[in-house]
Amino acid sequence: MKFLNLTLRNFKETYRDPLALGFLIAFPLLFMLLFGAALGGNSNPSYAVGVIDEDGTQVSNQFITEVLSQIPLLDIGLFESEAQALDNLKQGNIRSALVIPSGFGDEVTKSWQRLDPDIILNITYDESDLTVSSQIISALNSAIRNYAQVQIPITINTSHINVEVDVSQIDFIAPGIIIFGLLIMVPTSARIMVRDKETGFMSRMLTTPTYPWEFISGYSASLLVIAIVQIVIFILLGVAFGMNIVGNIMLAFLIFLLTAVCSIGIGMVVASLSRSENQAEPLCWLIAMPLAVLSGVWFSREIMPDYIKVLGDLFPYAHAVSAARVVIIRGADFSAVSGSLLFLSCWAAGAFILGIALFRRRMRG
């Protein structure tokens, strides 16, 4: 009987908080909807590829306009020189640079005449996303084989833009995993603040001459110390597992730190809106997990539909993941990620201002 009574009591406790119950039901639904929208359906990604036509013949021009330009996966742009294309590749404006060398037209013509051709293409690619680069190289390989009407091996000289180290899968995934780890600060910060509400600590503090910003700052300062320790541990573990940091490690640390501040700020906003830990916990995960999907912490955002990418760009984590990857993998400097840093700073400031305003309103209530 005690078992049945306890079961009935717990059911009642759950149903007495319909908002928390709604979050628990809505979380898996929203998570599945976002995963389905991001990875399901008939999404057709398109990758910018720069082409330099050093051959300048009718055959090479036909290959560009009638073959490459018709491949849905590729968004072809013409460049006058290889140096210009490589500069755009390093800036992230294109994902690959294809050089059609002199003599290309003559060799393709030999193939059409059933002679032995020596067809060569030179491709330089951005290896920061191994999945994307392999898709581009595969598409170009298939295109030239079909165009030249040959099955024999074609020489495709591939090289990547980073010469310091060879980029591996851990180099791509590690920055995203670190950002996801910092996303966990959202439920952590909210839980601490809401627990103080439930235990009555905050009610007692409200009887003292304490300002809202002092409450928020006091909680945030302690959480920030925890976040710094987490970032150090994350980076050390990433390096231990083979992550190569090509860029400035302090710049990468700054990106992670601003991300943590954003997470703490969001957690404070949730805590100010929540009446109980049962409400705050599922609401935080309802926010954190979809943001992880939208931000591409586990996989490339290039495979997502455009509207999903636009939605993700409204939040700080997509910018944090992108900035961390270009610094760690490409060795980008401050100027290359200054826009992302500004966006993260504005988001962090906005979250804390909103958290203080909501907390002040709750204090007055």
Domains plus CATH for the chain? 47-160 (3.40.1710.10), 168-364 (no CATH)
pLDDT at 142 over 50: yes
Please give the share of the chain, as a percent, with pLDDT higher than 90.
8
The pLDDT of residue 253: 94
pLDDT at 163 over 50: no
Confidence of residue 6 (pLDDT cuts 50, 70, 90): very low
pLDDT at 3 over 50: no
pLDDT at 31 over 80: no
Whether 251 contacts 334, CB under 8 Å: yes
| pLDDT tens column, 165-201 | 556 677 788 888 889 888 888 888 888 777 777 777 6
Confidence of residue 37 (pLDDT cuts 50, 70, 90): low
pLDDT at 1 over 60: no
* 324 class by beta-carbon count within 10 Å (0-12 exposed, 13-18 middle, 19+ buried): buried
**Where on the phi/psi map is residue 200: left (φ > 0), alpha (ψ -120 to 50), or beta?**
left
The pLDDT of residue 41: 52
pLDDT at 264 over 80: yes
pLDDT at 357 over 60: yes
Mean pLDDT of 198-219: 68
Whether 148 contacts 154, CB under 8 Å: yes
Please give the share of the chain, as a percent, with pLDDT higher than 70.
76
Residue 269 one-letter amino acid: V
